[in-house]
Amino acid sequence: MMKLATIRTTTGTAAVRVEADAAIEIGALDVGEFLHRPNWKTDAARADGPRHDAANLDYAPLILNPEKIFCVGLNYRSHILEMGREPPEHPTLFAKFARSLVGANDPIELPAGSTEVDWEAELGVVVGSEVRHASPERAAAAIAGYTVVNDVTARDFQYRTLQWLQGKTFERSTPVGPWLVVGGEAPGEISCEVDGDVVQKADTADLVFDPVALIVYISQLITLAPGDLIATGTPGGVGHARKPPRFLTEHTELVTRVEGVGECRNTMVKGS
């Protein structure tokens, strides 16, 4: 297993290989740029650039400017049931934009004008090679690795129309990181905590459409490129479905974990 991250430095940003005691620069400004190299896995493993103390890293968004960010709605059976829906025949897709992303420990800005900001813990899939009309085998080979995402959502904006995007891509609202896990075991349990309360917990095996199926489907629509991010959906336990509903407020701490991958730990602040 190898962990790659994008960190902030005194001179900008750098892609690094994260080890137990150090983060070693691998020769790119971010992981997304690095994934465009044809032999990125070998290059990352062999890199021996400047070193940073692993205990004091300032994580930037894993991919600074992804070409595409695809998100999947209603993809955990538990979440489908709590929302009163039927399992979908095809993935429900929507998009985010790069300005919505923040790092694993950055503040999350509460969308101005929203009073119904909700959490959605998600497994993130990062594409490592260009792929179009993928077979399951090619789709699996195109996965660079996994990361942690929280699709923080303004429900009152999301449900203004039948299209969800307007509630999903507010600036500085979506933590991604802390790193990309390459190789190792398949991701396991996913969970979310709000001020210490466990509000979501599920196994990624509960996904209706798994990462391979999602790449097969999305690559029918458009070519997926290195550094593209797919947020695979959230399990049951969102605040909107609770009785009474519960939402995120200023100073709330939001912790998102995926077993075998890592965690994001973010505090909510006022947005503009």
256: tokens are: 């998102």
Q: Report d(CA 39, CA 54) in Å as an integer.
A: 25
- The residue type found at 174 is T
Is the separation of the CB atoms in 234 and 163 below 8 Å?
no
Percent of the chain with pLDDT over 90: 89
92-116 pLDDT tens trace: 999 999 999 999 999 999 999 999 9
| Amino acid type, 267 | T
98 touches 171 (CB < 8 A): no
As beta bridge partners, residue 76 has 207
4-26 pLDDT, tens digit per residue, is 999 999 999 999 999 999 999 99
- For the stretch 156-205, pLDDT in tens is 999 999 899 999 999 999 999 999 999 988 899 999 999 999 999 999 88
Looking at residues 239-247, what average pLDDT do you find? Answer: 95
pLDDT band at 207 (very low <50, low <70, confident <90, very high): very high
Does the pTM of the predicted model rise above 0.85? yes
Buried b (16+ CB within 10 A) or exposed e, 119-157: bbbbbbbbbbbebeebeeebbeebbbbbbbbbbbbbbbb
Q: What is the pLDDT of residue 86?
A: 81
pLDDT in the model for residue 161: 93
How far apart CA 178 and CA 105 sit, in angstroms, is 8
> Facing residues of 53 across strands?
22
Structure confidence at residue 272 (pLDDT): 76
Distance, CA of 206 to CA of 187 (rounded, Å) = 12
Quick one: average pLDDT of 223-233? 98
Confidence of residue 80 (pLDDT cuts 50, 70, 90): confident
Contact by Cβ (8 Å): 213, 109: no
In the structure encoding, which two tokens stand for residue 66, read together? 């992804």
pLDDT at position 151 over 90: yes
